[in-house]
Amino acid sequence: MKKANYNAAYVFGITLVATIGGLLFGYDTAVISGAEKSIEAFLILPLGLSAFVHGATVSSALIGCIIGGAISGLLSSRAGRKRSLIIAAALFFLSAAGSAFPESLVFTYNEPSIGLLIVFNLYRILGGIGVGLASAVCPMYIGEIAPAQVRGRLVSLNQFAIIFGMLVVYFVNWAIANGQAVEWINSIGWRYMFLSETIPAALFGILVCFVPETPRYLALVRREDKALEVLKKINGSATRAQAILDEIRLTVAETSRGRIFSYGKVVILIGILLSVFQQFVGINVALYYAPRIFESMGAAKDASMLQTIVMGLVNVVFTVVAILTVDRWGRKPLLITGSIGMAVGMFAISGLAYFQIIGLSTLVFIILYTASFMMSWGPICWVLIAEIFPNRIRGQAVAIAVAAQWAANYLISSTYPAMMEFSGALTYGFYGTMAVVSALFVWKMIPETKGKSLEEMEKQWKK
């Protein structure tokens, strides 16, 4: 077996710390799946509000995600990648505690009102800002730390952490709701679901203080001695570290102005479209509304939670498939294969919805759809966003791509309840069509990045 020409234990250790941000990303976005019906019963129905308000409330964190993604470029460029992650950890913690007890000192406990609904949404938006920051900075941090030959695998670990965070919160939500009366879940249980997030948030905030800043950011801010020190720890060789620093220094010097379109508009457009297609295939509808989808198929409350856990396990398994193959097979083959699988799954679900067929076949095709996403667009989109942009514009470009992703996510998630009221068959058919278009986009526009250093990718865009 070929020996790694880098310090594997050190690189893996700091990657694991960074991926806790990914775990919180998944935890925060999926915690609502167990609480959304309770939120509807506690805050929406008593106030006589519409399905649109319900959808907007469930998706309110996504507004914060858009904000967090948009400011991630400025923050990661000014404060650094590491400090941005510390800020994200603090936002996760505050949002979790506030969402659990939005009454605070102002409102009467357990008495719904418009003001309480607004405060709840504000806390969810605060957590969303943390998610937006983590979604941009975690893969960026890992991408700038990781050696080229394992970069795809290590950035994909962040997606594994996202999915693992979702799976953990599915178990937590199920454990809280299991055997409890609906009245207790609607008044108390959903609060425990949100409050549970404070534990991983605190852990992340503490551990991230002990990881280094990325060498590429240090080179950008002219702290080359510190950058060389980190590169030596990563590569285990002073000679190799110096060679990498020289290559980084060259790209920094050649693009000193760092204008967003320094390398043309195509690379920015590709980043945006990658993000938009990742959401327009409808994956977050399956994640956010999973229990409700299964209940609509005839499953009881507890059974729907268990089926959601089964889906979460499938997600973890197929994310591992992506981790094991992304640096061997390449990015493009996985994306195209995943798009085809998602299209088959969604068109089948659309047909079943049209003929009102509810049963095991529907669950099978949902699993086919989510498995296809998790082995392709789930992790690979983040890998490409972390590696296709040149050093000097990476912070800005990642921020644009991530903001576009969360905007697309909000649009798809918030419109889902209303679309389903109109036609389930057309709703799932739309997601299937987007999967087909995403395959054509990858085939025509995405460059293969397997095995290339970040600086080599920069040279490709110059050509």
pLDDT computed for residue 123 by the predictor: 94
Report the pLDDT value the prediction gives residue 253, as an integer from 0 to 100.
58
Asked if 374 contacts 318 with a C-beta cutoff of 8 angstroms, the reply is yes
Regions of the chain where pLDDT drops below 50: 1-2, 255-257
Amino acid code (one letter) for 232 = K
Handedness of CA 194, 68, 290, 416 (dihedral sign): positive
pTM, full prediction: 0.80
238 lies in some domain: no
Task: Count CA atoms within 13 Å of residue 84 on its CB side.
Answer: 32
Q: Is residue 250 domain-resident?
A: no
CA angle 285, 334, 408 (to 5 degrees): 30
pLDDT of residue 4: 60
Q: How many C-beta atoms lie closer than 10 Å to residue 62's C-beta?
A: 28
Domain that holds residue 153: 8-211+255-462
Please state, as a whole number, how many other Cβ atoms lie within 10 Å of the Cβ of residue 369: 29
What is d(CA 191, CA 290) in angstroms, rounded to the nearest whole number?
A: 19
Give the residue carrying structure tokens 């976005």: 29
**Residue 283 within any structural domain of the chain:** yes
Residue 219 lies in a domain: no
Whole-angstrom Cα Rg for the chain: 22
If one counts every other C-beta atom within 10 angstroms of the C-beta of residue 113, the result is 14
**Ramachandran region of residue 134, left (φ > 0), alpha (ψ -120 to 50) or beta?**
alpha
CATH number at 432 reads 1.20.1250.20
Q: Quick one: pLDDT at residue 205?
A: 96
> Which residues contact residue 459 at a Cβ distance below 8 angstroms, ignoring those fewer than 6 apart?
none
- In-domain check, residue 440: yes
The single residue listed with the structure tokens 């679900």 is 349
Quick one: three-class SS letters along the chain? CCCCCCCHHHHHHHHHHHHHHHHHHHHHHHHHHHHHHHHHHHHHHHHCCCHHHHHHHHCCHHHHHHHHHHHHHHHHHHCCHHHHHHHHHHHHHHHHHHHHCCCCCCCCCCCCCHHHHHHHHHHHHHHHHHHHHHHHHHHHHHHHHCCHHHHHHHHHHHHHHHHHHHHHHHHHHHHHHCCCCHHHHHHHHHHHHHHCCHHHHHHHHHHHHHCCCCHHHHHHCCCHHHHHHHHHHHHCCHHHHHHHHHHHHHHHHHCCCCCCCCCCCHHHHHHHHHHHHHHHCCHHHHHHCHHHHHHHCCCCHHHHHHHHHHHHHHHHHHHHHHHHHHHHHCHHHHHHHHHHHHHHHHHHHHHHHHCCCCCHHHHHHHHHHHHHHHCCHHHHHHHHHHHCCCHHHHHHHHHHHHHHHHHHHHHHHHHHHHHHHHCHHHHHHHHHHHHHHHHHHHHHHCCCCCCCCHHHHHHHHHC
In this structure, are residues 312 and 163 in contact, taking their beta carbons and an 8 Å threshold? yes
pLDDT for the residue 449: 80
Q: Which amino acid is at 247?
A: E
Residue 217 domain-assigned (yes or no): no
In the block, residue with structure tokens 């957590």: 127
Question: What does residue 59 show for φ and ψ, rounded to 5 degrees?
Answer: -100, 10
Contact 391, 454 (CB under 8 A): yes
Structure tokens of 102? 């939005």
240 located within any domain: no
Q: Burial of 373 by CB count in 10 Å (0-12 exposed, 13-18 middle, 19+ buried)? A: buried
Total count of domains within the chain: 1
CB 342 within 8 A of CB 433: no
* Measured CA distances, 108 to 97, 128, 190 (Å): 17, 25, 17
**In the prediction, which pLDDT does 300 show?**
56
- Structural domain contains residue 98: yes
